[in-house]
Each structure stands twice: as C-alpha cells, then as structure tokens.
Amino acid sequence: MGISNQFFACATLKSRDGNTADGPFLLPPGFDPNNESFPPLTLFIPQVAGPGSVSGLGACTISPNGGNTDFALTWQAKQGNTYATVNVSPDHIYPPVDSNGLWDSFNRFRQALENLPPTCLVSGGAAIIANRIAQALPLSYAGTSRFAYGLDAASRCVDLLPGMSLRVDYGTYQYINPSTVVGGNRNAYTGTGSTRFQIRRRADGFIGFNAFTDVLSSFQMVMANPPQISGLLDLEARGNNMAYCRLIYPPQIDNVVTTKTAPDGSRNVTLIMADTLAHLETATTNYIENGSCGGVGQCLFFSGRCAAYPEITVMLNGSPVIVPLGTTLKDVIATVMTVSIDEVQNGSFQLLLWRWAQPSLLDSDQGWNVGYTLTAVQFESTTTVNSATGLSQWDLPLAMGDYIQISGSR
C-alpha cells in the first residue's frame, strides 16, 4: 500500500508506538501510510483566497494557540494564483489517535476561520477549508462522519448542513377515555406521519428549511415559552433562523404514556440555533449539562413525541437514493439491491464507489491541475472484521453525493 490519488479503505494503520492500530480507516488521496517518520500534513487549498489574504500583513493567518494545538493557516502565491496552506501537526492524527484532541483543535480552528477579517476569504471560504481538511485527514470510519458533519454519538448530536434533509417522524397524543374508564389504558402517543425539510443556505447566510418560505418576507410569531416546534411555520418564523443549526437528542425521553412531565428541551429532540460557531459550541455544552441553551443561541424543541434525523442523497447506479446519515456501504447494498456483501465478494459482481474530493490537496505541484471531482475509493482485496468493533471495510459510512455502482449477477 503506497501513495495513491484515491481514497483507500484499510483494516489497520501503523502507529507511532511500533504497533498497528485496528481500524477500519479511510485514508485520503496522497497520504503515505508507509512513512514511519509520521510527518505533519500540509494541505494546499485553491480558490478560497479573498482580496486581502496575502496583503493583510498577517491578519489572515492562523497559528495554533488556545484550544487549537494542531492547525495553522498561511497563504502562498503560485502560478498567478493564491491558495491557502493548512499545516496539521502530527501529534493527534497518527495512531494511537487522540480523536477528541484533534476534534477540539479542529473546532477552535473553524472558529478562528470565522473570525478572520472579511477580505481574507471568499464568501463561504471558511466552510470550504473545513470541508477540505475533513477529507484530507486519515480517519477512522466514525471520524469521517464526525469531521464532515459533526456527528457525535456520545453527545447525541449532529450539524444540519445545506444539502441535507431533516426527516421528522411525528408523534401526537391519542386520547380515548379517562384512565378509569374502559379503553383509557390505550391513551398514548402514536405515530402520525413524517415530514422532510430541505436544509439550505439562504441568501442572508442563515440556515433555511424550505426554498419557497425562504423567499417570503419572514412572518412574525410569538413563540411559546419554552419555544416549541410543530412544523415549518415555527422553523421559518422571523428570529428563529440563524447561521448554524445542530440537532441534538436528550439523554432521557419520556415513554409513550407519560404526560405529567412539563414539555421542554431536556426530554425532547431539539434544534440548537446559533449565529457563530463559538455560540453553537457553548449552547451545546449548556444543553448537555442542563437541557437548555442557557441564554446562548436558541433551543427549539419538537412538540409531541418526535424523532428527527438528517438524510443525505447518494447515487446508486445513476439514480438518486435518500438515506439516513450513518448509512453504510454495506447497508445500501443490502437494503436497496438486496444483495449481501458476501455475494458481492464471492459472486460475479463489481462494486465501485466514488466520493467528491480534491485529490491533490496533499500535493502542491498538482494543486491547480486537479479540481473538486468524484474520486475513487479503493478497498482491500480481502475483508478483515475487527474483533473489537465488529466492523469491516464495507461498513464505511456514506457521505453526501457518494456515487455507487454495482453490476453483475448472482
């Protein structure tokens, strides 16, 4: 296994302590897994430089400090263009990996990007840089979703990003009779249908949930206290939209017959809204600690008894397929094609996967020659199931826009 211009899914990765770390891992294009000097990574990101990126006399650079110990930003001019150079310390990226330490640094670096003077980056440049970093790190399978979408299983939260859908499965209370009368023991919350909201970036920079209502002049609404969401009207009311939106689940949810608990965000699925990344992180910390945003940003919880989850669109044999975030390659093959991975391996099937990326990020000499494109994901020829996690290379979580092709027959 050498340097490749493709992604590579592998079962193990060499570690700095002389051992091998159990995966599976997804290695980015241009990464050398055999380099046992474990060097820092340098990323070259084109087309994000604003007019003041080089002339800003250092105002457009970021050095590791505070909670960010891993990421630095400088600028380089080359071939008549200017590109961002992101240096990543080796301290947290090679096994044994301190994934939490790397994640904390990444969050602080994103906040620093957001706070750069407006002439440093093109519009949307901070999000592009964060996206390219997430694609250029050697990560465990769980790490790919965490750095791309903020999916934190332990904290039960995920960021809602443009291009996703938010699927909400509603539950309302079914009242038949008083509990002392026949039939009263059937009073309970019941499922009442689903709604899909299309997450998008509005012209004002805020997160929107529907293109039609986004173009209307925002309507006024006096929200209940605490603020609850029943549907699109509440999400699109003036003052509820902000630049960032995070879906979070509480640690405890009432069962289907409990009605005594006063409704609030501490027992209901909640959206955390914030105008800055720093406020988003603070509000999330507050919610995890006490079930509310603590006056930072907004916590809007779904009324009734709802389940909510983000969905992404992938392409399967040329057709779009909407799947929940967290769906794996093995899942989509088994559920959509009704073909098991064992059949793919042992039969006459060909399975191919491409992922959107800029494959030359780690190569400054090719940085201007290869654009953002569908990039092949290469899998090992044999399948190894990790005894600790039970995962194989086919458990790779799908990403937005992944293109899957399967052909052949049983």
The 3 state secondary structure assigned to 141-185 is: HHHHHHHHHCCECCCCEEECCCCCEEEEEEEEEECCCCCCCCCHH
Q: Which residues does residue 298 pair with via DSSP β-bridges, in sequence order?
A: 273
Is residue 174 domain-shared with residue 304, that is, in the same domain?
A: yes
Token couple for 128 = 């592009």
Is residue 90 domain-shared with residue 221, that is, in the same domain?
A: no
Is residue 322 domain-shared with residue 378, that is, in the same domain?
A: yes
Residue 243's φ and ψ, nearest 5 degrees, are -75, -25
Residue 56 has a pLDDT of 64
CA distance 30 to 2: 9
Question: Within a domain: residue 152?
Answer: no
**Cα angle: 291, vertex 107, 101; to 5 degrees:** 95
Is residue 20 domain-shared with residue 120, that is, in the same domain?
A: yes
Is residue 164 domain-shared with residue 304, that is, in the same domain?
A: yes
Is residue 142 domain-shared with residue 283, that is, in the same domain?
A: no
Is residue 347 domain-shared with residue 319, that is, in the same domain?
A: yes
Contacts of 88 (CB under 8 A, 6+ apart): 40, 41, 42, 43, 70, 71, 133, 137
Do residues 392 and 369 touch, judged by C-beta distance below 8 A?
Answer: no
Provide the CATH number for the domain around residue 342: 3.10.20
CA distance 325 to 334: 16
Q: Look up the pTM and report it.
A: 0.92
- Output DSSP code: residue 121: B
Give the pLDDT means over successive 10-residue stretches in the chain (410 positions): 80 84 90 88 91 81 93 87 91 83 95 95 95 94 96 96 96 85 85 92 92 83 85 86 96 86 87 96 96 93 92 95 95 80 74 90 59 90 79 94 85
CA distance 272 to 238: 16
Question: Within a domain: residue 122?
Answer: yes
Q: Which of 86, 113, 147 is the last residue of a domain?
A: 147
CA distance 103 to 69: 11
Is residue 293 domain-shared with residue 315, that is, in the same domain?
A: no
**Residue 309: closest CA among 207, 199, 213:** 199
Domain interval for residue 95? 7-147
Neighbours of 271 (CB within 10 A): 26
From residue 18, alpha-carbon distances to 4, 37, 384 in Å are 23, 11, 21
Contacts of 190 (CB under 8 A, 6+ apart): 171, 172, 173, 174, 256
**Residue 293: closest CA among 310, 308, 273:** 273
Q: How many domains does the chain have?
A: 3
Residue 409 has a pLDDT of 67
Q: Which of 276, 309, 342 is the last residue of a domain?
A: 309
Is residue 240 domain-shared with residue 320, that is, in the same domain?
A: no
- Output DSSP code: residue 348: T
Q: Which of 265, 289, 309 is the last residue of a domain?
A: 309
Is residue 240 domain-shared with residue 346, that is, in the same domain?
A: no
CA distance 277 to 294: 16
Is residue 20 domain-shared with residue 162, that is, in the same domain?
A: no
Is residue 23 domain-shared with residue 126, that is, in the same domain?
A: yes
Question: Within a domain: residue 323?
Answer: yes
Quote the radius of gyration of the chain (alpha carbons, Å). 23
Tell me the per-residue pLDDT of 97-153, one tens digit each, with 9 for 90 and over: 778 899 999 999 999 999 999 999 999 999 999 999 999 999 999 999 999 999 999
Question: Within a domain: residue 114?
Answer: yes
Do residues 212 and 121 touch, judged by C-beta distance below 8 A?
Answer: no
Residue 370 has a pLDDT of 58
Residue 3 has a pLDDT of 66
Tell me the per-residue pLDDT of 195-204, one tens digit each, with 9 for 90 and over: 999 999 998 8
Residue 5 has a pLDDT of 85
Pairing of strands 165-174, 307-316: antiparallel
Question: Within a domain: residue 1?
Answer: no
